Amino acid sequence: MFCYHKITSRIDFGICVRTPDDFARDVRWVASLPAELRPHFIFDDGYDDTFHTAYPILESFGFKASLFVITDWIGKRNDWDANFFGKFEHISLPALRELAAAGWEIGSHGASHRALTTLSSAELRREVFSSKRYLEDALGVAVRKISFPFGLFNQRVIDACQDAGYDSAVSIRCASACGYVQRSLAVYRFDRQSHLRAKLHCHWLELMRLRAINSFSGLTVLMH
């Protein structure tokens, strides 16, 4: 799975962004691969540019995707993010309903984008149970998957997610596809086609590079 966050041409000094042109090239390259090698596209955080920009590009190639949403922030700007250079809007509920009707998988990214490993049992339960219930009630679809905020998880988090009824989970920090937790590979601002190819084949050097990059998400964790 290739994991994206923002798809925008707006100025953003973070790394979790692809321009629309870069994303279109990514999708075109994936479309050129044999069907059995094509990675699935997923989007964490649920920004409105997923609907306005990524969705039309993917539709033009006949691709569906998965979107993992922070339920407390639907239709709001991302004040939870430690990005001091501008704020971005999250997807609206009507747009979420349109994506679900178009065949996209909608999953949870927690209720508030807090690191699940740092929470009390009551807080953890709210993050995984309430976000799932909200999406199912609002969209009328089963929510079967959760993507862990910051990729952070432990056995306690897995147990809570299983108790909540999720069939599986996704993490950008998962060392490999390990049963319940599936690995996703983040695509960042500076990635070229050679990086995408290395991700596709899980090249050890690319996995080390991603591990180093993902470790910097600790700044936002500390800000919460």
pLDDT < 50 stretches in the chain: 222-223
Kindly report the backbone phi and psi dihedral angles of residue 145, in degrees, each rounded to the nearest multiple of 5, phi listed first: -140, 145
Domain total of the chain: 1
What pLDDT score was predicted for residue 87? Answer: 80
DSSP bridge pairs for 44: 68
Measured over the CA atoms of residue 122, residue 124, residue 95 and residue 73, the dihedral's sign is positive
Q: Which CA distances in Å does 30 have to 8, 22, 54, 136?
A: 20, 12, 14, 31
Residue 219 belongs to a domain with what CATH number?
3.20.20.370
Integer Cα distance of 49 and 32 in angstroms:
24
Q: Domain containing 13: what range?
A: 2-223
Contact of 108 with 128, CB cutoff 8 Å: yes
**Model pLDDT, residue 29:** 98
Retrieve residue 53's tokens. 């920009």
pLDDT confidence of residue 143: 98
For the record, the structure tokens of 85 come out as 């250079």
- Sequence-distant (≥ 6) Cβ neighbours of residue 143 within 8 angstroms: 106, 107, 108, 132, 135, 136, 166
**Residue 13 has which token pair?**
């000094």
pLDDT at 83: 64
Q: What is the DSSP string of 105-155?
A: EEEE--SS---GGGS-HHHHHIIIIIHHHHHHHHH-S---EEE-GGG---H
The pLDDT score that the predictor gives to residue 11 is: 78
* Residues in CB range of 6: below 8 A, 6 or more apart: 12, 14, 16, 17, 18, 45, 47, 49, 88
